[in-house]
Structure 1
Amino acid sequence: MSNLGPYTYVTLSMRPDDAPHLGVSFYTPRLRVSAGMLLSNPRPFLEFTSHEAQVHISTTGAGRVTDADLATAREIFNAAARYLADCECLHADQSATDKTATDTAA
């Protein structure tokens, strides 16, 4: 398996007659995730930040919170829960493998 090390990758693709496409990939231990409420124009936000990039997610059009905003927030929550579960599972598997390798070498 190749290990490139930590990085943040940002791309912007623009083609004639198409909407721009922005891609942001975080592969870094320096990733910070935060959420809060903007007070000047009350609305919730979710933010992913590394040294190289920032991604802010908030409600549609900075207006009233809509049913679509709630559906998106639930999708984010469910995806984050799945990400956590997958990370915990892999971490447990890797820890067990490391312990087996250490016990075998001893």
Structure 2
Amino acid sequence: MSNVGPYTYATLTMRPDNAPHLAVSFYTPKLRVSSGMLLSNPRPFLEFTSHEANVHISTTGAGPVTDADLAIAREIFTAAARYLADCERLHTDQSAADMTANDPAA
């Protein structure tokens, strides 16, 4: 398996008679994740930032928080918890494999 160095990949696809499609992939240790509240028009936001790209998520139409906004926030929370659990499990597995590989008695 080859390892590619860290990068951020963003593509914008625009086709006639279709809505534009933007895809952003972060594969970098320099990713910053933050959240907060915009004060000028009170609403929450979630932000993913690298040197190459920024992704901002906020409420529908930048307006009041709706039931749909709550559902999306819960989906983000659930996905982030699953991502964390998978990262922790793989990190533990990889650390154990590294220790076994470096153990001369193994």
C-alpha offsets along residues 77-101 of structure 1, whole Å, 9 cap, x if unaligned? 0000000000000000000000101
Q: Which residue of 2 aligns with 1:6?
A: 6
Deviation track 1:2-37 (CA, whole Å, cap 9, x = no partner) reads 111100000000000000000000000000000000
RMSD of aligned Cα (Å) = 1.1
Match of 1:92 in 2: 92
Aligned residues: 106
Tell me how far apart the structure 1 counterparts of residues 3 and 11 of structure 2 sit (CA, whole Å). 21
Q: Structure 1 residue 104: deviation in Å?
A: 2.8
* Aligned counterpart, 2:30: 30
Give the corresponding residue for 1:58.
Answer: 58
Distance 1:36 1:2 in 2: 38
Unaligned residue ranges in structure 2 (runs of 5+): none
- Amino acid corresponding to residue 74 of structure 2 in structure 1: R
Paired residue type of 2:20: P
Q: TM-score, normalised by structure 1?
A: 0.97
Q: What amino acid sits opposite 1:104 in the alignment?
A: P
Measure, in 1, the Cα distance between the counterparts of 2:21 and 2:10. 11
Structure 1 unaligned residues grouped into runs of 5+:
none
Percent of aligned pairs with the same residue? Answer: 84
- Spell out structure 1 runs of 4+ moving beyond 6 A: none
Query: Which one-letter code corresponds to 1:97 in the other structure?
Result: A
Residue 55 of structure 1 and its aligned partner are, at CA, apart by: 0.1
